[in-house]
Chains A and B, each alone.
Chain A
Amino acid sequence: MDFDPVLLARLQFAFTIIFHIIFPSFTIGLSAYIATLGAMWIRSGNDRYQHLMRFWTKIFAVSFAMGVVSGIVLSYQFGTNWSRFSVAVGNVIGPLIGYEVLSAFFLEATFLGVLLFGINRVPPWLYVLSAAIVAIGTAISAFWILSANSWMQTPNGHELRGGIAYPADWLAVIFNPSFPYRFAHMLNAAYLTTGFVVLAVGARYLIAGRYIEEGRTMLRMAIGLTAILAPLQLFLGDQHGLNTLKHQPIKVAAMEAHWDGSKPGDFHIFAWPDEKTAENRFAISIPHGSSLILTHHMNGLFPGLNSVSASERPPVVIVFFGFRIMLAIGFFMITAALFGAFLWWRGTLFDTRWYLQLMAQCWWVGFVAVIAGWVVTESGRQPWIVQGVLRTADATSPVPGATIAGTLVLFVIAYGVVFSFGIYYINRLIAQGPTGPTAEETGHFSANPISAAHEAGRTAVGRT
């Protein structure tokens, strides 16, 4: 059998990174939510927040572990599968990832230990601070890795000599043109994703009539958050798209399936882009819609796919549908969050059963939008791995296709098993619900949680 090593390396990377991003999308948001709950607990002294905090921390632990192990795989894949990429742009991208390890990974990993095991050993303020440090660590991690990825989309601040990129201006490298947009859009995506998970879990409890108080708190917090962040995401995405039009116009042409740049672009609600004939079939379109969005003029022009030869185009179908999936979910989120806020204002949020039932089913929407967004971003950059600097086909390792195919199968099996069990255990934790402190801790936590916890913390720190 003949294996194409480039295609297989891409498939393997796509599979392992799509698996990885599922967890950061959740842990970035969840760690911030846990820290918020902790702050509310300390401020109000209300036990409910502490129970909620401990409950979500258990779920966080399971997700974080999957995020860590799948991330370690990725960091080595730059060498195993993309060794020529590592040499060609390592001088520039390597330090960004190095800084991520030094400034984020150690921080997250260490204070995670305090968050998971420290409740009886540290005073409450330090416990909550550890949660906040974990949350900050995940955001710092996103900062560096998104800087690296944005540099691959819009390289800047470097010099090319003999096919190798050398850094010239580090600030220009880190804050490359697409980075601020990508960082804001992705971070917001992570918070939204988590918001919808919390919303779904809260709705589930209200429907089941269990943990009513906790469920209401979750619902209020999630709706308060998403009602602001979902519309914000539309704005950030729009700005991001305008920036992409400036730097990667062909990617935008693929997102819109816009072939002929001499005519204004329609916005296709649905179409089948036919890459052979360079036309759209079965199109249902809003005339001049894309022109209006991208140029703010009815008859504005922007480059079409036909302005480059077919071999220079990204895979249009993937990019086009990926973009539509993200948009659909984005608008769904806006509607759901604003409608929830409306119900809350009317005072019927906790009794509108159909709404709760719908939201209880929608925990996954953020994850799908994140993956779809990344597929648009990454596939839309093809055939380049680093836009204008290095082609994907020139970036692979000298490893035979059969070896990559074999390990790809191993990854699919292993991740399939890990993912199924992970989901199963998270569901189990949700079903168990936010119970009070476990028997072993009731000794430490008496009626007044703060003073008791202070005492427990003090004895723990003082004990040898």
Chain B
Amino acid sequence: MEWYLPVIWAALIGTAVVMYVILDGFDLGIGILFPFARNERERDQMMRSVAPFWDGNETWLVLGGGGLWVAFPKAYAVVMPALYLPVIVMLLALVFRGIAFEFRTVSRSKTWLNVAFSVGSTVAAFAQGIILGGLIQGIQVRDGAFAGGTFDWATPFAFLCGLSLIAGYGLLGATWLALKTEGPVGDRARSQAKMLLLSVLVFMAAVSLWTPLTQPRIAERWFSLPNFYFLWPIPVITALTAYLAWHWIETGREVPPFLATIVLFLLGFLGLVISNFPYLVPPSLTVWDTAAAPASQIFMLLGTLLLLPIILGYVGFIYWLFRGKVREGESYH
């Protein structure tokens, strides 16, 4: 058995998930910040800053989910039923926010579509946080299948993760707006970014303390020696990044706060990987337990190695094409 294939696939799916979280994160973040816009022109401007990208951003979600199925069918088959309700709620929320983009340009009255967009985005973020929390706190498995109840995921910890992700996506959205928009929207985004940065730090601290306190295996991963010698820089770098982000927002820089937020997300993700590897379905199924047949993983790997660079190429092209600021009142289609 090729032991390394599942590790490569875990890394690839991790990449897809990170891409999704960052790209759709700022996109959902716009929806989370939507209620704070003052008028239709501002809302148009906010939406316009993500309109050419949202569909591509969401496709990473399909790749993450589809990739999990391709490479780790047994994990997919446990996780989806276990997190059935949060997954379906997330999908429905994405339906409403997704159609809002196009419907809003046609509709005369925008009120309900604004609600669909912002509530959809916020609920999707919250549900994704719950999914994450539900995974971290562990899923009950018997004979390789999900063996728990419909509401097993509904714990205070999962709700905390849900709120954390709302704050995190909000921060990504705010720093994106600061980068992409001019006028009052950009100014407001900068002050929102500071508030959101603080709350993200509080949430990160809370989640980082809560997990080792309730999950002995995670406590042992971090605090046993010699692991701790290697791992202590992670929280330190996180604090440093947060400090820099704050500083850059204060001094009105445009690109660095967004990048620093991305680094914060990457660090959070690294923390999760350290806590849970090699489990894909904590606390029982590892990447090797759940891997697809090697022939399937190899077939798909070839295609991925060929196509992923091309995809990154044209995704990069479209971000370049729509570079620059969106002004207030700039038209839609």
Contacts and interface: CB of A to CB of B under 8 A. Distances in A.
Which of A64, A121, A429 is most buried by chain B, counting CB atoms within 10 A of its CB? A121
A114 B304 contact: no
Nearest to B149: A400
B38 interface: no
A323 B8 CA distance: 47
Contacts of A113: 51-53, 55-56, 318, 322
A422 B95 CA distance: 12
Contact of A117 (B73, B84, B300, B322): B322
15 contacts: A72-B91, A79-B68, A79-B77, A79-B80, A83-B76, A90-B296, A94-B66, A98-B304, A106-B63, A166-B293, A398-B147, A399-B84, A407-B84, A418-B95, A440-B331
Contact of B77 (A57, A65, A83, A107): A83
B77 A114 contact: no
Given A68-B98, A86-B77, A117-B333, A91 B295 contact: yes
Given A65-B102, A98-B300, A167-B293, A407 B85 contact: yes
Contact of A421 (B67, B103, B324): B103
Interface in A392-429: 397-400, 403, 407, 410-411, 414-415, 418, 421-422, 425, 428-429
Contacts of A57: 333
Contacts of A418: 95-96, 99
Contact of A110 (B87, B98, B303, B318): B318
B112 to A, nearest CB: 9
Given A166-B293, A403-B84, A403-B150, A410 B94 contact: no
Interface of B: 51-53, 55-56, 58-59, 61-63, 65-71, 73-74, 76-81, 84-85, 87-88, 91-92, 94-96, 98-99, 101-103, 105-107, 144-147, 150, 292-293, 295-296, 299-300, 303-304, 307-308, 311, 314-315, 317-318, 321-324, 331, 333
A62 interface: yes
B89 to A, nearest CB: 8
Given A65-B103, A91-B292, A94-B292, 13 more contacts: A65-B55, A72-B94, A79-B81, A90-B76, A98-B67, A98-B70, A98-B300, A101-B66, A102-B307, A103-B303, A403-B150, A407-B85, A425-B106
Contacts of B314: 106-107, 110-111
A198 to B, nearest CB: 19
Contact of B293 (A86, A91, A99): A91
A69 B322 contact: no
B296 A94 contact: yes
Interface string A91-124: 1101101110111011111111110111001100
Nearest to A60: B102
